[in-house]
Structures are given as structure tokens and as C-alpha cells.
Structure 1
Amino acid sequence: MTPASPPRLLQEQAGRIRWLTINRPDKHNAFAPGLIAELQDALDRADADADVAALVVTGAGSKSFVAGNDVQALAGMDSVAAYRDMLAGQRLMQRLHEFAKPTIAMVNGYALGGGFELALACDFIVASATAKFGFPEITLNTMPGWGGTQLAVKKMGLAHAKEMVLTGRHYRVEECREFGFITRVVPLEQLRNETLAFAESLVRHHPFALEMAKRAVNRAAELPLSAGLDFEAAGYALNFGTPHARESFRKFLDK
């Protein structure tokens, strides 16, 4: 009897934090056909679970976060299949970018191509000192297609995004920190504990207040200032009338 293959996506609950681990260390945690759907399902479950207040995405092992898309599978696609694959990847990244709860990419090694896009789609990146980031697609005479060109500009600005997309090289975490998209860098052996501590610092706050604040910040990168201010005011008012906000004001005034 053939032994069952290990799951490609591990899910773990630690307190109010849901951990999603891409579990293909022998393939540098590269995406495989069907893994996008598994991640979408995991996001839906985490979104609907009231016990989940924040999400951490990472890769198994210590060498790679996610090394990218499955190149062998891509090489066998025609233009229509490649287009469908890019749309599926973009839907996943947009789902993660707009996820109602705070999301953290715990980057323990190489985050390349689709893996880099996955990290950029999260709200925060906590990286080990050994992490490396890059868009190697141009070296195969192609380009990022899961939202990388768009997310990179939003997270690091036009000049740095062009540099990373058009050179195709791997960037050390120290360089990336200067580009502005890294939240914090910690030694590899402290990565999980530091990521957990950061996640716990977020989930002390009420989930609806976090959601409204995150939505407002996301809109700031997309809307004209006047429309963004309107969105912010509406979100503020909506949260302001909730029992959790009223109780917090009362406790503050009682002091």
C-alpha cells in the first residue's frame, strides 16, 4: 500500500492566531497545481472563524518561504491556461490583501516570484536575517503575473519596484528593508517567537476596529485624498457606534 502524501498546506491554531504553512520543503515550498484553491479555502475558513483574530503565512523548513510558481506546470500551458492561472493567483493575492483580519508573512528564506507576491499581499512581513526576495520571472523572459507589479509599486514605490521586477535578481533582506516593505528583521532562531509576539500585539485590539482601520489604510493607496477621507470618516463613525468602542471610551474617561 502506497503511503499517503503529506498535506501540502498545514493549518495550526495558537491562541487566536491561525498559522498556514506551505508544506513542500523538498520543492522549496513552490506552488503546485491545486494549492491556490487550498489556500483560498483556508482563508475562507479563517475569515469565518471567530476564534481567529490574525493570520500568519509561512513555508516549511528553514531555507524557503515560497520559491514561486511551479515552473514545470507553467511550461506546459498555452496562453489561455496561463491567463487562467494568472487570474487564479491574482484572486488569491487580492483576497489576502483585503482579508478582514491582520495578516503576517513569516519569511524564513527565499521568497521568490509567486512567493514574493504572497508575502507582499500580507499586511506585514517579518523576515529572518537570511531571507531573500526577488522577481526572477524576467530571467525566463516573462514577468510577474499574480499581482507582483501592482503590489510592488504599492509597497515599495515605483523606482524600487521597477528595479526588482526588471533586474530579476535576488535581494538580501538588508536591501529590502531600505525599500520599505519589511516590517522587522530577526535572527532565524527567533523568527517564530518574534512573529507570534507581533501577532499577539495586534489581536489585543477589537477585531472590528482592526478591520475598519485596515480597510481605510488600504483605500489610501487607491483613492484620491478626498474620497479616502470620506471612507475614513465613514469607517470611524461605523466603529464609533459599536459597544466595544463606547466601552473603551467609558473606561478611559473613568481613569
Structure 2
Amino acid sequence: MADTPAASPVSVSDDGAVRTVTVQRPDKLNALNAATLQALADAFEAAAADPAVRVVVLTGAGPKAFVAGADIAEMNGLSAVQGRDFSLLGQALMCRIERMPKPVLARINGFALGGGLELAMACHLRIAADTAKVGQPEINLGLIPGFGGSQRLLRLCGRAATLELCLLGAPITAERALQLGIVNDVVPADALDARVGDIAAQLARSAPLALRGLLDAVHVGGECSLDAGLEYESAQFGLLFATEDMREGTSAFLQRRPATFQNR
């Protein structure tokens, strides 16, 4: 297991094929400043390129916050042009995570507000502790979401819920977020690690090329017409017939044994 230096705002550790990326600013409730956004971008770039990594878990250090938002102290001094650039930096990271060729699982251990919720929504699956709270409170700062919150919320839970969270700016409970479709599951705080670990282990056992094809198909399908999405799905489906993993998976099923996928 390799760890990044303590001075970094982001730590990285491996447990088999599962890489955990942790925002490491607990004294700031893991708030996202420019340096942290860049460190996260570097961490996800490295995870995407590492063939030993099959799943990424994203979380925040400490018991209070996943990520409590963007760093307001840093934002306070920005000009209009700098504010736009900060938004673009955050959006680039969120798109990088969303388009990862490997599943990314958000472990929401506490507050996921503003940029923190935007970061979680860029992940493919979101598991929250029952003590967590999520929201888009930027309106209270005289701002709007800048890292994609208005757009990903709209796609996850619709217009009414998006306007509720963004216009009112009040955090909601993890259970309410589950009802709205913002998170996939809510578990007791003391069961969060076990639940996330189980899901990560299941994904790590799955066929990596099939996972990648599925992530691609869902991403493309969300941005195009149904006909175009179906055509893309068929293309991905057909390509997987050229893989050793597909032969292994179907053979294992017929032979009633567990499959062992080799990413080939």
C-alpha cells in the first residue's frame, strides 16, 4: 500500500485493485481550493493510467466532512475573470471523474455541500452515512454552483429538486437525498466503510473492459438521442465479444464457477 506525502492536500492509498483518494484538509472541512482541485485531477489521471487499479473510492478526511464546499477564503479575493477560471478548473475535474474508464465510488462520510456535492455527483455511485448532509448553498454567498451543480443535479433528480436545493440553499439529509436520487444508498455511519468496501470489492471482481464499455455507453447515452445511444450500445456490446474476459465470463457461467477476469 503506497501513501502520498502528508503535505499534499490529497492522499492516495491502494488495497488490492481498489484505490482510495482522500481529500486531506480536515481543518478546513476538506474545502476545495485550486491546489486541491489540481491534486485531485493528478490523482485521477494516475488512477486512470494504472492498470492495477480497477476501482476508485473518493472520500474526505476526518469525521465531519466529505467536502464541505469550495474554499471561500480563496474565492473571496478573486476577480470576475479569476472566478470564471476557478469554475472552469473545477468543471474540468468533475468531467475527468465522470468520464473515468473505471468506476468511481463516493464515500460520503459527512457534509457534501457546494463543491463537495458537485464532486460527489461526478462520481458513478454515491454511498452516504445517515449523518451526512448535502446541498448547494452558493445562493447564500451571492453565487450559483460553479463546478457543474446546476447541471448534474438537473440530470440526477429533475428541475423541481434542482431549483429547491439551489434557490433555497438549505442542506438536506442523506435520506432526503436518497429519495431524490442524488445518492444511491444511505447506511448507518458505523457501517459506511463496510458497505463501500463491499461495493468496491464487487466492482473490482467485475470485467474491467465491460465496466468501461458500460460507463462509456451511459455517458454517451445521456448526451444524445435514444437512437444514437442504442447504436453506441450495440457497438460497445459487439466489441466485447473480441475480449478474453467475455469468453471467460460466459464459460464460467456455463461451468457454474466464479469468473476470473484479466482485463484482456
> TM over 0.5, yes or no?
yes
Structure 2 residue ranges without an equivalent (≥5): 257-264
Matched, 1:33 2:56: no
Of residues 216-225 and 64-73 in structure 1, the stretch that sits farther from structure 2 once superposed is 216-225
1:190 CA displacement: 1.6
Structure 1 counterpart of 2:22: 21
What is the one-letter code of the residue matched to 1:54? V
User: What is the CA distance between 1:246 and its match in structure 2?
Assistant: 2.1
Compute the TM-score of the two structures, normalised by the length of structure 2: 0.92
Aligned to 1:193: 194
The alpha carbon displacement at 1:5 in A equals: 6.7
For 1:216-235, list aligned pairs within 5 A: 216-235=217-236
Looking at structure 1, the residues matched to 167 and 219 of structure 2 have their Cα atoms a distance apart, in angstroms, of 26
Pairwise CA RMSD:
1.4
Which residue identity lines up with residue 210 of structure 1 in the other structure?
L
Question: Residue deviations 1:199-255, cap 9 Å, x none?
Answer: 111121111110001111222221110000001001101112212112322333455
- Supply the distance in 2 between the matched residues of 1:254 and 1:172 (Cα, whole angstroms): 46
Amino acid aligned to 1:20: V
Query: Residue 123 of structure 2 corresponds to which residue in structure 1?
Result: 122
Deviation of 1:198 after TM superposition, in Å, equals: 0.9
Query: 1:53 & 1:203 partners in 2: Cα distance?
Result: 5
CA contact (8 A) 2:135 2:171 kept: yes
CA distance in 2, matches of 1:176, 1:38: 28
Identity of matched residues, %: 38
| Number of aligned residues | 252
Deviates more, 1:226-235 or 1:238-247: 238-247
Q: 1:178 & 1:118 partners in 2: Cα distance?
A: 19
- Separation in 2 of the partners of 1:127 and 1:203? 20
Write the letter of the residue equivalent to 2:69.
G
Amino acid at match of 2:151: Q
Instruction: Tell me which residue corresponds to 1:52.
Output: 53
Question: What code does the residue aligned with 1:217 have?
Answer: V
Gaps of 5+ in 1: none
Aligned counterpart, 1:74: 75
1:173-209 deviation per Cα after TM superposition (whole angstroms, max 9, x unaligned): 1111110121111111121121011111112111111
Question: 1:163 matched to which residue of 2?
Answer: 164
- State how far apart, in whole Å, the 2-side matches of 1:58 and 1:248 are: 32
Report the equivalent of 2:251: 250
- Equivalent residue, structure 1, for 2:173: 172
1:46-69, Cα deviation, whole Å (9 max, x unpaired): 111111100011001111110111
Greater Cα offset, 77-86 or 31-40: 31-40
Structure-2 separation of matches of 1:81 and 1:67: 21
SS at match of 1:157: helix
Report the AA paired with residue 214 of structure 1: L
Aligned counterparts of 1:228 and 1:5: Cα–Cα separation in 2: 44
Between the aligned partners of 2:9 and 2:184, the Cα distance in structure 1 is 27
**SS of equivalent residue, structure 1 residue 202:** helix
Alpha-carbon distance between aligned partners in 1 of 2:255 and 2:140, rounded to the nearest angstrom: 62
Which is worse superposed, 115-124 or 148-157?
Answer: 148-157
* Corresponding residue for residue 214 of structure 1: 215
| Partner secondary structure for residue 12 of structure 1 | strand
- CA deviations 1:67-89 (Å, max 9, x no partner) are 11111111101111111111110
Paired with 1:179 and 1:31, the residues of 2 have a C-alpha distance of 25
Paired amino acid for 2:187: V
CA distance in 1, matches of 2:43, 2:137: 28
1:239 aligns with 2:240: yes
State how far apart, in whole Å, the 2-side matches of 1:79 and 1:31 are.
19
SS of the equivalent of 1:34 reads helix
Give the structure 1 partner of residue 104 of structure 2. Answer: 103
Q: Please give the TM-score of this superposition, normalised by the length of structure 1.
A: 0.95
Query: Residue 251 and residue 109 in structure 1: after superposition, are their counterparts in 2 closer, same or farther (change >3 A)?
Result: closer
Q: Secondary structure at the match of 1:10?
A: strand
- Distance in 1 (alpha carbons) for counterparts of 2:194 and 2:77: 41
